[in-house]
Amino acid sequence: MKSTLALSLGLAVILGLGAALPVSAATTTATSAAAAKPTHYYVSLKAKGPGCEVVAMKPTTKLMVGKHSFKTEADASKAMAGDKACKA
């Protein structure tokens, strides 16, 4: 009798957590998506092939073009278009 009661309580707890988990997971996903928006953009040489690309993280394994970060992707794209190293 005790084992049946313990099993029933354990099952109820698991089902209760299962119902609450998707709500908290959705909240976490929405919050992290808003926090994941890049604040700076960089111009970097492409790893393979000629040319440059705009990246959201400061390049560590690729060569960064220039010494500045840009607040918007559009500003980084303009700088990339005007840089001699990116015209290949």
What pLDDT tens digit does each residue of the chain (88 aa) get? Answer: 555 545 455 545 454 545 544 554 444 555 555 567 788 999 999 888 889 999 999 888 888 888 889 999 999 999 999 998 888 6
Which segments of 1-88 does DSSP mark as H helices, in order?
2-35, 73-82
pTM of this structure: 0.55
**Do the beta carbons of residue 83 and residue 45 sit within 8 Å?**
no
How far apart are alpha carbons 54 and 41 in whole angstroms? 7
**Do the beta carbons of residue 45 and residue 63 sit within 8 Å?**
yes
CA 86 to chain centre: 26
Q: Which residues contact 18 (CB under 8 A, 6 or more apart)?
A: none
